[in-house]
Each structure stands twice: as structure tokens, then as C-alpha cells.
């Protein structure tokens, strides 16, 4: 399978997961620093204090990124590193770090793709109510403006927010991610409304203040549903489930359309409004227009998926057979998600699709001979990329793919036990060791595609 010559081949990371240097340069705690210090919240009591120490090892890490031959690197900016108070004064040292990072990337002809919010909300803002405070949207836009003023002469690609589904669902409903809240449905829907306002205001700010032409999108996640078999009725069933807001008691947030319909169509979907009833947010005049800013792309984070067919009472989910492949996170291996996900998203939202994250956690270690043989990762990525290629062949407008992640890193509530990197990190010595998958991905990029042959996983 050959990919288009202008395809964006990338690799991704996020600030809190790799940066460390938690109090360098005046950086103040994010909600994740606070959460990590609460007993029992994060596996093993791990924290992002040091993480991969990327802030102090940036030039070498950029060398590893460039060594892949990627033409894009998705990074995120730590708001409390740039504006330690959440609002107000900018830390020149904090912003200066990203300035140097951008220059280092460009020096290697790697385009920076910048995520403005990848969950490390300033604790200072949380102390003022966090996303429950409507002013959060303005504070976010203000911070975004400062970043855009400084970097947009060299940066064109912007991602407003990463996965509202997860930081609302796990951060504000189940309490398993920072800030660890278990809000009522009404309150969590209000927080989500403010997040969407923040997204819209940020998109507008980028367009108003950017010094060069911009490419603006976002990076949501949400269940990808594929047909369980070859019947046309299963395709319809999958599509219907993929865009259904499933307002089960508990976590309502892991769906596509509550967030995406607002962002793209400027309205919340009818089925959600019906189900949430009086818990649904009451947008003020102008809110929905503010949220629905024109976007240049839909950035989908896709790791796994569900399967569906038409049952007697409408679409129904179909379980994977016992013993089907699963990653270390226990997520089913579902390569067809990179076919049906982009296809359904492009069909509904009519935007070019970029896969903003895709990868897996696996049990990698450095062998006696110094090699990391992550054959499962090679097989996984190969299967997923073939499906993405099939989508492109069938005419779906997919323009890029970002592998998660360049380095093993701090995997949120799982701490350091889940390794997603193409490069292994020894957290004691901070030594980086490229895995077998690193060389494999480099060869995929230089050859512009994945061999149609079953993946051999050569070392």
C-alpha cells in the first residue's frame, strides 16, 4: 500500500507525559501534579516530576524524532509552564523552551503540530473552579493568544484541545484522572460546554492572531464502530452506534457526536438533548456560533474499536471472540477502526481527517543484547496502517497519521507501567533505546507505505 506523496507522517507526545522539569523556569503545578500527589490516584504513586526529562534533553530527542524521517511532530504546550499563574504574566523561560523546540524541529525539516491543551490545566485555574467556571474559556483563549503571538511566524498547524471525552469523562465524572472530580451529570455537562466554548474561542484567536496561514483542528476521541460482518445492514448499524450519544448513567462522555456536532454543526445532537433532559446545558445566545468555528481538519485519536450488526431491536454491539488479540491496556486490537473511523467521520463532518494518535502499550524491555524486540507493535501498526491505506484508496480524505508515541512516557493514571513508545526509556538512567518498531516505522515512511505482505517483523 503506497500513501500519497504529500501524506503527513508524524509522531506524537504531550507535555506532562514527557517534559519533567516540573518546577523549572517558574512552572507551577498543573492539575496532574496535584493529582499524582494524592495517595492511591496514580499507579505506584508515580508522578511527572521527571518523566523523560525532555525539557533538559530536547535537542537529543528532536534528533530521535528526525531520525524517523517524519515530516511532522505533534507536541503539546504546558499552560502552567507558559503562564504560571494560569492568567497574567508569561514566563519567558517557559515560552522560550517551546521557541527553541520549534526551531530545533524546523532545523530538521519537521513541521511542529501544536496541541494547546493536553490535560495539564494550571492548578491556579482549577482553584478558581476549573472548567466549571465559564471564564475558563476566556482564560484559555488568552493563553492561546500569547502562544500564537510568539510561535505562529513558524508554526502553521494547531490543535485546540485533546480528547474532551477523556478529561471530562475520567477527570470530571469517574474521578479516575485529574482533577479527580465526580460531578453530577448536570455539572459535568456544564463543564463540557465551557470546554467547547474554549475550543471555539481558541480557534478564533488562532485565526485572528496568526502571522502565517494556519491549519486549525482538534483531536477528539470516541468509540469507533465497525461493521461486524460484510452485510450492508451492519454498516448502517455501525454508523448509527458510532454517532449515538449513549447517555447511560455514569460516564456519558465517551461519544463522538455530543462534542463533534457542537464543534462542526453548532448544535448538540437531538438524542443527547432528549436523554439529558433538564441536565443539558443551556447555551447563552451566541455560544453555539462561537463553538462552531470553521475547522481545517478533524484529528481523530484511534486506538481500538467496537463492532456492530443489526439486531432484532436495532443496532447491537458484537463482542470480540474469546481470546482475540488485546494490547497490554486490554484494548482489543481492531485495525478496521482505521478504515471505518475516518470513513464515517469524513462522511458526517465533511472535513479532512488526520489520525492524531494511534499505537499501543506493550510489555517491552531491553534484551540482553541491548535490543528491544517489540514485534507486537510492528504487527499492530502494520495492520492499522493497511486499513488506513484502504480508506484512502476508497476515496476517504485522510491526510496524515501520527504514531503515539515517540518515547515511552507517563501514561496518566497508569504511571510508567504502560509503554507506548517507539523509543524505550529507562526511567532510572533516562537512557533512550530505539525499539525494533522505530526502525520499522522509519522504513515505512521512507518507502511511503506498508508492504502488502504479512508483516515479518524483521529485526
Measured from the CB atom, the residue of 46 and 239 that comes closer to ligand FCB is 46
Residue that is written with C-alpha cell 470553521 in the block: 294
Residue 227, classed as helix, strand or coil, is strand
Measured from the CB atom, the residue of 17 and 433 that comes closer to ligand FCB is 17
Measured from the CB atom, the residue of 18 and 237 that comes closer to ligand FCB is 18
Angle at 199 between CA 196 and CA 205, to 5 degrees: 145
Q: How far apart are CB 405 and ligand FCB at their closest, in Å?
A: 7
Q: Which of 19, 336, 357, 411 is labelled catalytic?
A: 357
C-alpha–C-alpha distance, residues 59 and 100, integer Å = 9
Measured from the CB atom, the residue of 119 and 349 that comes closer to ligand FCB is 119
Q: How far apart are CB 449 and ligand FCB at their closest, in Å?
A: 25
Neighbours of 109 (CB within 10 A): 10
State the DSSP code for 351: S
Q: How far apart are CB 321 and ligand FCB at their closest, in Å?
A: 25
User: Are residues 237 and 307 in contact, defined by beta-carbon separation less than 8 angstroms?
Assistant: no
> How is residue 125 written as a grid cell?
485555574
Measured from the CB atom, the residue of 234 and 362 that comes closer to ligand FCB is 362
Q: How far apart are CB 355 and ligand FCB at their closest, in Å?
A: 12
Q: Which CA distances in Å does 125 have to 78, 135, 171, 310?
A: 13, 10, 15, 46
Q: How far apart are CB 186 and ligand FCB at their closest, in Å?
A: 25
Which residues, in sequence order, are CB contacts of 368 under 8 Å at separation 6+?
Answer: none
Q: Is 453 a catalytic residue?
A: no
Q: How far apart are CB 107 and ligand FCB at their closest, in Å?
A: 26
Measured from the CB atom, the residue of 12 and 203 that comes closer to ligand FCB is 12
Question: How would you label 155-191 residue by residue, b for 16+ Cβ within 10 Å and e otherwise?
Answer: bbbbbbbbbbbbbbbbbbbeebbbbbbebebebbbbb
Q: Which CA distances in Å does 170 have to 8, 41, 319?
A: 31, 12, 24
Q: Which residues bind ligand FCB (CB under 6 A)?
A: 14, 17, 162-163, 166, 221, 301, 357, 404, 411-412, 420
Q: What is the CA radius of gyration of the chain?
A: 21
Residue 112, classed as helix, strand or coil, is strand
Measured from the CB atom, the residue of 362 and 387 that comes closer to ligand FCB is 362
User: Are residues 328 and 336 in contact, defined by beta-carbon separation less than 8 angstroms?
Assistant: no
Q: Which of 163, 270, 336, 453 is labelled catalytic?
A: 163
Nearest alpha carbon to residue 131 among 178, 90, 94, 95? 178
Q: Is 163 a catalytic residue?
A: yes
Dihedral Cα 431, 19, 46, 23, nearest 10 deg: 120
Q: How far apart are CB 54 and ligand FCB at their closest, in Å?
A: 14
| Catalytic site positions | 163, 357
Amino acid at each position: 500500500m503506497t500513501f500519497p506523496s504529500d501524506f503527513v507522517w508524524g509522531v506524537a507526545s504531550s507535555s506532562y507525559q514527557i517534559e519533567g522539569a516540573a518546577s523549572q523556569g517558574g512552572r507551577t503545578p498543573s492539575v496532574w501534579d496535584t493529582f499524582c500527589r494524592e495517595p492511591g490516584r496514580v499507579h505506584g504513586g508515580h508522578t511527572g516530576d521527571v518523566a523523560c526529562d525532555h525539557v533538559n534533553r530536547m535537542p537529543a530527542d528532536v534528533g530521535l524524532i528526525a531520525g524517523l524521517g517524519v515530516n511532522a511532530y505533534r507536541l503539546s504546550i504546558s499552560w502552567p509552564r507558559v503562564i504560571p499563574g494560569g492568567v497574567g504574566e508569561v514566563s519567558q523561560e517557559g515560552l522560550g523552551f517551546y521557541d527553541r523546540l520549534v526551531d530545533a524541529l524546523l532545523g530538521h525539516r519537521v513541521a511542529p503540530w501544536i496541541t494547546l491543551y493536553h490535560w495539564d490545566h494550571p492548578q491556579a485555574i482549577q482553584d478558581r473552579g476549573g472548567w466549571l467556571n465559564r471564564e475558563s474559556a476566556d482564560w484559555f483563549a488568552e493563553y492561546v493568544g500569547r502562544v500564537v503571538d510568539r510561535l505562529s511566524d513558524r508554526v502553521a498547524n494547531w490543535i485546540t484541545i485533546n480528547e474532551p471525552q477523556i478529561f471530562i469523562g475520567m477527570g470530571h465524572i469517574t474521578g479516575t484522572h485529574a482533577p479527580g472530580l465526580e460531578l453530577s451529570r448536570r455539572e459535568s455537562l456544564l463543564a463540557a460546554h465551557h470546554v467547547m466554548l474554549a475550543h471555539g474561542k481558541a480557534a478564533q484567536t488562532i485565526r485572528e492572531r496568526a502571522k502565517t496561514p494556519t491549519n486549525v483542528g482538534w483531536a477528539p476521541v470516541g468509540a469507533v464502530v465497525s461493521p461486524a460482518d460484510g452485510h450492508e445492514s451492519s454498516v448502517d448499524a455501525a454508523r448509527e452506534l458510532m454517532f449515538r450519544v449513549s447517555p447511560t448513567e455514569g460516564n456519558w462522555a465517551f461519544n463522538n457526536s455530543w462534542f463533534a456536532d457542537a464543534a462542526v454543526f453548532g448544535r448538540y445532537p437531538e438524542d443527547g438533548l432528549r436523554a439529558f433532559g433538564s441536565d443539558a446545558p443551556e447555551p447563552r445566545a451566541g455560544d453555539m456560533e462561537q463553538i462552531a468555528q470553521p475547522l481545517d481538519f478533524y484529528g481523530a485519536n484511534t486506538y481500538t474499536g467496537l463492532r456492530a450488526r443489526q439486531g432484532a431491536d436495532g443496532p447491537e454491539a458484537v463482542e470480540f471472540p474469546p481470546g482475540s488479540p488485546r494490547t497490554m491496556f486490554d484494548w482489543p486490537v481492531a485495525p478496521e477502526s482505521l478504515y471505518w473511523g475516518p470513513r464515517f467521520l469524513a462522511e458526517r463532518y465533511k472535513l479532512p481527517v488526520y489520525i492524531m494518535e494511534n499505537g499501543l502499550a506493550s510489555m517491552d524491555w531491553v534484551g540482553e543484547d541491548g535490543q528491544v524486540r517489540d514485534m507486537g507493535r510492528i504487527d499492530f501498526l502494520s495492520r492499522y496502517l493497511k486499513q488506513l491505506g484502504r480508506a484512502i484508496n476508497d476515496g476517504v480524505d485522510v491526510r496524515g497519521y501520527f504514531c503515539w508515541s515517540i518515547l515511552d512516557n507517563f501514561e496518566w493514571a497508569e504511571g510508567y507501567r504502560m509503554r507506548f513508545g517507539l523509543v524505550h526509556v529507562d526511567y532510572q538512567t533516562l537512557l533512550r533505546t530505539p525499539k525494533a518498531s522505530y526502525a520499522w516505522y522509519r522504513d515505512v515512511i521512507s518507502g511511503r507505505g506498508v508492504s502488502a505482505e504479512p508483516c515479518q517483523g524483521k529485526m
